[in-house]
Structure 1
């Protein structure tokens, strides 16, 4: 998962912190978007203006974008909808870990300056395909707009695609950036928006919903059955039918649900309908929209805690909360986490699950707290490597072998294990009456590794398997040096001999040493 939300919520973890601390990301409409006063009028009946004073905006500069990183020209990037640019970023981030609104109007108002790449950066048909093109995805790619339920409709379609075997993995994303007053005016004309620009869901003060920026991406795979789907309907009966159908399809009992992420529009009509339909289907505790709600729900399960409900003071009397078995939001709980395990996970993730870029940072830390402090330090600078590192290796001769050498690698890395199996087959084809794989798995008392006939081929087999493992990671040696039998492994690493040739050298040498081979 990856996201960009107001209040500095630039990741699922930071979104959780925002929700868990009950913080609001509301702000007056910034001048950088449009001159709000020119379009403001307090009268809801006044057409062509907006009575909204604020909303929820991203703090970051939405014009900033690394076009070169995504292989885009300056012309293509400059005319691309900011939502598409941010979606590219979040999909990339989501893939590393595992509902569009367009700026058509702003650009089309001056056809004389319409850029050549306008359509490819803003056309509805191009939005999802921008993601497909950059990541070279070949499965179906589509853009959907069903209003507030857009991203959840996409999540539903993605799940269907996975169940049907049409795809092995799916990317679901949505974005919304407030660039001009148009939708504020349109919403004001229908009295849909909260004048304060704040949403008071299920609260007596509810007067309308609040608008906000948001970008979210999620990667899903066919692993766990979906236990919840929320697609709001106008009619209470339709909402109830849909929720029950979803639970029946998943084979789950709604009564076992302890948490429901609601739409929570903050409108008098919408809150009442939703509260009644939820209360009739579930016996539950809690309430929000689209992928933002899904990400929050996932984080709540990971943290084993439920965040407080922002802007809730007193229940909407028309919602009949007492009859619906709804409880006030509980306090956020704390989950216990082993710091050593977290540090190990962090090191593994950064080392094995992140793309290697030309600019890198190297640091050391013995705790999560120290790691965070180091990464946040102002003096930390990146180093750019202008060339591929030159790696050399020294291959030892006899004397370093021991009974359990390479044992963990056999279980951890298939490439290493495959080479040992290949070495085993080669040795048997030369007349060996024993198994290399079995010898490497004997205990200290039974091991024959200190006998020359075994130590020579087995030590070199381990060296050959290590070379193959490094090659599988893209590590190729620029130079080698060696001693005694290690010269055989070095010759293999340099490409001078084959695996079978290397094993033939050490096997025959061992047999000759023991007097079992003569020329």
Structure 2
């Protein structure tokens, strides 16, 4: 029997060992916690006039095909090089309009600026608006990560390119201009991994946040089809659908269609977002990137590499395959690529317990938006989590016979499915694979429904409206008035006003709406928008502070800034 002295002798080291284990566990929990990233704001442009999350969701829920023929105006601006090309695709309505003065850019510089860079500036601004975070309030600690590939605009260079042309088209300047314009001083980079560029940008942003390189990050990507040469080159590979329809996973799949788009997400460490009272739209549980390495060909997908990536991301999060209820696949609609991808996903995500889980691809709706594809897929997955629904897969009738789902439980939805997280898993995964061989994968969990710290804001006594110009001020006033006309306007008014007063950048032309109700604010906003008088309207001097407001933070969706889109193009549409 051990003596009392022996027991005491062993107690000290044992206690120290237990304390060390406890400390190491705390450090591990802190590291894992730093890797959980909150999505606090989003913005996007997609074909079919899509300009925000709600219109995007409606198009997805309705299974709409948003592709169409190349706009005639696009042909008119450039040349006849489009003749004979497969020109059907997912095109944005306006790629030449840009509110250059808002960003302090001259007409000459604007004409030299790639429309992809122009679009990124506006979409990133809208993402911070959506997050209710004025960019100046986080300027020193914000990083910028942009996925961008094409440089079609360079083909329309002026006879003697100048410095504005040089810095208006290089990839690095797409990210650098955002940081310069908004005053951001965190890590800033443009990323080109072909089709996986924007999801790789999200991955890189999350790693920068986890490492403490920045406290806020904006990540996303853009892709525009501005010249015929790149389409001609892709067409020669026979990768494009001859009938201009993208049919992921379908027996009729015969290639993809080119698409255009832009998306951005504002990210913070989850602990910081909760501390700051941010609205958390979704939580990024884990991300990863790897490379195909040797495969059937340089641009051919590598199924085992895709499986390894998905498995490694899950392992880093502590999640299991059973936690994944939906996979937003790369899904380009090629008869060879889709079977390889779904076999890889099946190997990584099938838990073997008979559960049903779903797979889809937004490319059937918008086309393959290339360097923007990953972020648009991420936003679709985020919306599925938010709405607790999985929309039917557009363009899908019958499974590609080369795809063997077996008993994996993987299902392509043919109708909108209520997301029962108890049976299908609570998380969504997103895959994006680059033709260069770079694969990216992200796992999301639902956002938090908890109210921000502190009491809900009381009646604010007024509402601030500000814009860069008087016409934009009137346009924004009318947008606010329309937003305050819904059935919940009165109950939401305090949060609406708090967001407008403190979550938006105050611009040159500012008007205070002295109203403590939604009805009063709506009437005054309508008068402001129509250029008529109302006793509740008061112009604020630049130095005059917004009246005091309760300190509790509230975030309420507001209409985006009404850009004054002046047309800038190299050829006939130039504007002086």
Using structure 2 for the length normalisation, give the TM-score.
0.60
Which of 152, 165, 179 is equivalent to 1:103? Answer: 152
Which of 280, 283, 294 is equivalent to 2:378? Answer: 294
Q: CA deviation at 1:226?
A: 2.2
Q: CA deviation at 1:196?
A: 2.5
Which of 342, 345, 349 is equivalent to 1:275? Answer: 342
Q: Mapping of 1:425-436 within 5 angstroms?
A: none
Q: CA deviation at 1:230?
A: 7.9
Residue 65 of structure 2 corresponds to residue 65 of structure 1: no
Aligned partners of 1:6 and 1:58 also within 8 Å: yes
Residue 338 of structure 2 corresponds to residue 253 of structure 1: no
Residue 124 of structure 2 corresponds to residue 75 of structure 1: no
Q: Mapping of 1:325-364 within 5 angstroms?
A: 325-329=409-413, 330-331=415-416, 333=418, 339=488, 342=492, 344-357=494-507, 358=509
Higher relative helix content: 1
Aligned mates of 1:363, 1:311 — CA distance in 2: 51
Higher relative strand content: 2
Q: In 2 relative to 1, CA 150–38 (structure 1 residues): closer, same or farther, beyond 3 Å?
A: closer
Aligned mates of 2:230, 2:510 — CA distance in 1: 41
Structure 1 residues without counterparts, runs of 5 or longer = 42-49, 394-405, 414-519
Q: In 2 relative to 1, CA 37–248 (structure 1 residues): closer, same or farther, beyond 3 Å?
A: same
Length, aligned pairs only: 386
Q: In 2 relative to 1, CA 317–262 (structure 1 residues): closer, same or farther, beyond 3 Å?
A: same
Higher relative contact order (CA 8 A, sep 6+): 2
Aligned partners of 1:276 and 1:319 also within 8 Å: yes
Aligned partners of 1:230 and 1:262 also within 8 Å: no
Aligned mates of 2:246, 2:524 — CA distance in 1: 38
Map of 1:457 onto structure 2: none
Map of 2:90 onto structure 1: 56
Map of 2:120 onto structure 1: 87
Which of 225, 229, 245 is equivalent to 1:198? Answer: 245
Aligned partners of 2:203 and 2:289 also within 8 Å: no
Q: More displaced, 262-271 or 331-340?
A: 331-340
Q: CA deviation at 1:204?
A: 0.8
- Partner SS state of residue 273, structure 1: helix
Map of 1:512 onto structure 2: none
Which of 45, 49, 60 is equivalent to 1:8? Answer: 49
Looking at CA atoms only, which structure, 1 or 2, has the larger radius of gyration?
A: 1
What CA deviation, in whole Å up to 9, does each residue of 1:271-324 have, x standing for no partner? 000111112222421213400011111122111211221111111111023444
Aligned mates of 2:231, 2:83 — CA distance in 1: 10
Q: In 2 relative to 1, CA 170–412 (structure 1 residues): closer, same or farther, beyond 3 Å?
A: closer
Q: More displaced, 297-306 or 211-220?
A: 297-306
Which of 208, 216, 227 is equivalent to 1:161? Answer: 208
Aligned partners of 1:34 and 1:179 also within 8 Å: no
Aligned partners of 2:152 and 2:230 also within 8 Å: no
Q: More displaced, 255-264 or 384-393?
A: 384-393
Structure 2 residues without counterparts, runs of 5 or longer = 1-41, 132-146, 271-282, 293-300, 351-356, 362-372, 421-448, 450-485, 554-576
Q: CA deviation at 1:10?
A: 0.6
Q: CA deviation at 1:37?
A: 7.3
Aligned partners of 1:151 and 1:173 also within 8 Å: yes
Q: In 2 relative to 1, CA 199–360 (structure 1 residues): closer, same or farther, beyond 3 Å?
A: farther
Which of 215, 219, 222 is equivalent to 1:172? Answer: 219
Q: In 2 relative to 1, CA 367–256 (structure 1 residues): closer, same or farther, beyond 3 Å?
A: farther
Which of 262, 265, 274 is equivalent to 1:218? Answer: 265
- Partner SS state of residue 60, structure 2: helix
Q: CA deviation at 1:133?
A: 0.2
Aligned partners of 2:285 and 2:317 also within 8 Å: yes
Q: CA deviation at 1:105?
A: 3.4
Aligned mates of 1:62, 1:320 — CA distance in 2: 41
Residue 307 of structure 2 corresponds to residue 244 of structure 1: no
- Partner SS state of residue 258, structure 2: coil
Q: CA deviation at 1:107?
A: 2.5
Q: In 2 relative to 1, CA 360–323 (structure 1 residues): closer, same or farther, beyond 3 Å?
A: farther
- Partner SS state of residue 206, structure 1: coil
- Partner SS state of residue 27, structure 1: coil
Aligned partners of 2:388 and 2:419 also within 8 Å: yes
Which of 112, 121, 126 is equivalent to 2:168? Answer: 121
Q: CA deviation at 1:388?
A: 4.7
Superposed CA RMSD in Å reads 3.7
